[in-house]
Amino acid sequence: MTRRRQLAAALGLVALAAPVAAHAQEFPTIRDRDYTLDLHQGAVLGSGRIVGMGGAAVATAEGSSGLLFNPAAVAVRPATSTGTWDWDWHLDWLTPQIGTDFDNNGLTQETDVDLIDALITGGLVGQYGPWGLGVTVMSFAQPLEREADGSRVVPRVAVVRASLARSLWADQITVGVGLRAGTFSIARRMESEAGAITETVDLFSLTGTGLEAGAIWRPRDLDLRAGLSASLPVSSEEVEVANCDPLACEGFVLPERAAAPWQLSLGVAWRRAATRWNRTVATTWRDERYLLLAADLVVTGHVPHGHGVEAFSRMQLQPSGRDVGVSPRLGAEYEWLPGRLRVRGGSYWEPSRFRDPRGEDVRGRLHLTLGLDVRIWQFCFWNERYRLRLSVTGDGADGYGNGGLSIGFWH
């Protein structure tokens, strides 16, 4: 082979190898504190009904579980609620750690379903006349992949939402305002080979608050509803460091800032049944077969100079939240056995939020969801009759899995 051909062959091998080498390279190492952690979560997390319907919940939101997606939900009563006052509650348990890529950031990790670190949501709502007041709490920890020394980095999020809402014009318009307050912390957890926790070292924590507002339109005697919800960004300009040097805290360079982006959601829903959807029903329960279809469009803002949490656990900077994301969502629900069984399903698009080492967007992914409600108990309390339901839900996508249980009132 001549020298010219040898040079051409060598250049060809370099050209073939270049994309592989670029793909294999890691993100930049964190060297200073001038960066922001992006706290947005792309997958739908919430009540069993909301997850099962693909996150399409802005127009169908009612009661305590609806507060997670629309502040106006606390003043939206079931059609059978005709008294001066009423109340609602829910409790949901989810395990969104079934998979290898929780955040759709392209960084895979071993599957580790830990019941202690499940996502828990719960809520309580009181309603008097046209008014509604409610609060929900969501808590979630995501133990990341175990390191060689037996430790894990554990990001933990706790979010409290409180909302006040009122129905106007004979319940045709419901408006609500709310406050979202959250805490975010990261700890390093030492574990034995059997998985038992032996030591936990807190690295840092931060808190932030933001305003939310929402509205739901329920035109009288029609089967149509529409909703709108908006959340302002939440940011923290001061990170509370737990007794260590922020430039060398258990091997980490801690961030100066963390932020959750603004979000705008629009939704529409249609229900087909023997009775009109937006009409009061003079019975204790509305036992009838119905088909409910819902669609949402969720727009999520960007986080300036944002970077991903999971890459941070590897002491690297992965660009995150640099662009506005759009997530269309579709859901359907059918009451198969009136008063006893409901089934639901849905789908939504989780848009790209992260960039890979080459600076290109990690592709978004399509989710498929399903769920069902089963009536489990009927009882009387203060001369009022109530039914309890047990719900099962699931959400699957490429590299992601989420399943859970929920308990609450049957409406």
* Domains delineated in the chain: 31-409 (2.40.160.60)
User: How far apart, in whole angstroms, are the C-alpha atoms of residue 209 and residue 211?
Assistant: 7
In tens, the pLDDT along 199-215 reads 777 888 888 899 999 99
Tally of CB atoms within 10 A around 292: 22
Select from 132, 152, 136 the least CA-distant residue to 144: 152
Cβ atoms of 234 and 259 closer than 8 Å? yes
CA-to-CA dists, residue 75 to 83, 129, 249, angstroms: 13, 9, 46
The per-residue pLDDT for 76 is 97
Q: Which residues of 74-105 are buried (b: 16+ CB within 10 A; e: fewer)?
A: bbbbbbbbeeeebbbbbbbbbbbbbbebbbbb
The per-residue pLDDT for 195 is 63
The residue type found at 387 is: R
Cβ atoms of 45 and 119 closer than 8 Å? yes
DSSP state of 143: -
22 vs 92, higher pLDDT: 92
In tens, the pLDDT along 384-395 reads 888 999 999 999
The per-residue pLDDT for 73 is 98
pLDDT at 15 over 60: no
Is the Cα torsion angle 139, 229, 167, 55 positive or negative in sign? Answer: negative
Q: Three-state DSSP class for 343? A: strand
User: How far apart, in whole angstroms, are the C-alpha atoms of residue 248 and residue 30?
Assistant: 11
The per-residue pLDDT for 17 is 38
Cβ atoms of 389 and 92 closer than 8 Å? no
DSSP state of 66: H
In tens, the pLDDT along 316-328 reads 999 999 899 999 9
pLDDT at 289 over 80: yes
Write out 246-308 in H/E/C secondary structure. CCEECCECCCCEEEECCEEEEEEEEEEECCCCCCCCCCCCCCCCEEEEEEEEEEECCCCCEEC
What are the tokens at 253? 């360079």
The CA-CA-CA angle for residues 268, 271, 277, to 5°, reads 100
Tally of CB atoms within 10 A around 123: 26
Across residues 127-132, what is the average pLDDT? 97
Does the global pTM surpass 0.75? yes
In tens, the pLDDT along 66-80 reads 999 999 999 999 998
Cβ atoms of 275 and 286 closer than 8 Å? yes
